[in-house]
Amino acid sequence: MDKLLIRGQRRLKGEVTISGAKNAALGILPAALLLSDVCTVENIPNILDIAILRRIMESLGARFIDIDENTLRVDATNVSSYTATGEDMHRFRGSYYLMGALLGRFKKAVVTFPGGCNFGSRPIDQHIKGFEALGAKVEIEHGHIKLTANKLTGANIYLDVVSVGATVNIMLAAVKAEGITTIENAAKEPHIVDIANFLNAMGADIKGAGTDIIRIRGVRELKGNVVHCIIPDMIEAGTYMIAAAATRGDVLVKNVIPKHMESLSAKLVEMNVKIQEYDDSIRVWAKDRLTRANIKTLPYPGFPTDLQPPAAVLLLQADGISTITESIFDNRFQYIDELKRMGAKARVEGRMAVIEGGSKLTGAPVKALDLRAGAACVLAGCVAEGITEVSNVSYIDRGYERMVEKLNSLGADIRRVSDSDGT
Ligand code: UD1
């Protein structure tokens, strides 16, 4: 597997353009399966998760035409299979959207449990509760989830936890159900709005996406020939904003929606990082000493859990003791041990990481234990003295388009080598 060799202590400077949102694309492509027709999706990030999803959808009968590197025409006319049980399903979390999409199209689906980053237990009970409320029978057999319904009927569904995945999956299954579905305590992430906008453009009737009550009036048919452009990836944008601050650099992060970045921007300002917002870009620079801060992850519009590993690298550069409280996942601090190999002074107490700022980071061999943990290792490598070797790079490929190229264009010194190079 490939490794990254990072020579650190580089101030990142210049401009970087953010790609389309991974988590929106992972919902939008399966949503195209609800349609027996063609649609075009622009601004799709060129990342591993999407390549795997595409392979699975092709195995179901979907056809893809590459219009350009980030634009795909999806033809779901001849999709005939509702069974997605191959190895690929385990490779990423977003495969769970095939449940809602196939159920919505065929009233049947047989899928394997999703994989994805290991942050402790990641149940899908709320997805299943939603499908059952719509009238599906759910059976678990040999590691597969089998969903069957004679007909799907709208229902009131109250989510016991705010879940992005369950909100989107219920939306997908309910779009063509008979009658009205209401999701209460729905997640409000921007990509939920993006997926709803895509479905509405195809003729769905979804209201309230982006609030905690979503109402879906079922429609008989969806129409094709829609062109949809995916929103920018707020987590990728946040990663580069943090990278600029952590390396005491000066970066214009382009193609972002500044409103989506508010929880991070506010935290950066609190830490004495300078921020200038424009219509669709944000300049981030840091010259002065950084102030400690406490971060608590929360569902949107709170501080995103996916940005807490990169944020830990920034807090290590600040004066004093900071904390991160993780309130979404029960085991998302494994990366702290990797940072400790680089000299980080930090400890984990249950769901809180206590981070002692001001300690010098030095290059070391570290592992990308998951996607965002991998991003944290890369940022730490850019800050540290000497050379950092990050292994398990495929995790980073899963969610960041051309990360090495983008960071190097800002002045980082990162080289990708494969194990076969003997390095
Ligand atoms: C999605 C994102 C992931 C992000 C996370 C939180 C995708 C592909 N992944 O993951 O990048 O970190 O949102 O913003 O979009 N839960 C249950 N039962 C369920 C579903 C969830 O108890 O049926 C719990 C989870 O264990 C977690 C919390 O709800 O504690 C939030 O999870 P959820 O929003 O569903 O995250 P994912 O969809 O897995």
**97 Cα nearest atom in ligand 1:** 8
| Residue 421, pLDDT score | 58
Tokens read off for 164: 């992005």
What is the mean predicted confidence (pLDDT) over 415-423? Answer: 73
- Residue-wise pLDDT for 59-91, tens only, equals 999 999 999 999 999 999 999 999 999 889 988
Q: How far is the CA of 77 from the centre of ligand 1 (A)?
A: 31
pLDDT greater than 80 at residue 120: no
Distance 187 CA to ligand 1 centre (A): 10
Ligand 1 midpoint to CA 127 (Å)? 10
Question: Averaged over 109-123, what is the pLDDT?
Answer: 82
Total Cβ atoms within 10 A of residue 269:
12
Higher-pLDDT residue of 122 and 344 is: 344
pTM across the whole model: 0.97
- Side-chain half-sphere of 301: how many Cα atoms within 13 Å? 11
> Hey, which of 93, 118, 163, 331 would you mutate to test ligand 1's pocket, going by the most ligand atoms within 8 Å of its Cβ?
163
Distance from Cα 361 to the centre of ligand 1, integer Å: 32
Mean pLDDT over 246-274 rounds to: 98
pLDDT mean across residues, the chain: 96
Q: Find the mean pLDDT for residues 134-163.
A: 95
Among 196-200, 268-272, 415-419, name the one with the lowest average pLDDT.
415-419
Find the radius of gyration of the CA atoms of the chain.
21
3 state SS of 15: strand
Measuring from atom 33 of ligand 1, which residue has the nearest CA?
Answer: 163
Token pair for 260: 């989506």
Given ligand 1 and candidates 22, 53, 99, 122, which is best to mutate, with the most ligand atoms within 8 Å of its CB? 122
Mean pLDDT of 380-407: 97
* Beta carbons of 282 and 276 less than 8 angstroms apart: yes
Q: How far, in Å, CA of 171 to CA of 182, rounded? A: 9
Residues 282 and 258: their CA atoms lie apart, in Å, by 7
Nearest Cα neighbor of 205 from 189, 221, 192 is 221
Catalytic residues: 117
Please give the Cα distance from 22 to 43 (Å, whole number): 10
- For atom 11 of ligand 1, the residue with the nearest CA is 306
- Does residue 145 surpass a pLDDT of 90? yes
Q: How confident is the model at residue 423 (pLDDT cuts 50, 70, 90)?
A: very low
Ligand 1 atom nearest the C-alpha of 94 is 8
pLDDT of residue 420: 64
> Which pLDDT score is estimated for 122?
84
124 Cβ below 6 A of ligand 1? yes
Ligand 1 centroid from CA 3, angstroms: 29
Quick check: CB of 167 below 6 Å from ligand 1?
no
Q: Decide: 160 in ligand 1 pocket, CB within 6 A.
A: no
User: DSSP for 117-165?
Assistant: --SS----HHHHHHHHHTT-EEEEETTEEEEE-S--B--EEE-SS--HH
pLDDT for position 422? 44
The CB of 328 under 6 Å from ligand 1? The reply is: yes
Cβ of 94 closer than 6 Å to ligand 1, yes or no, is yes
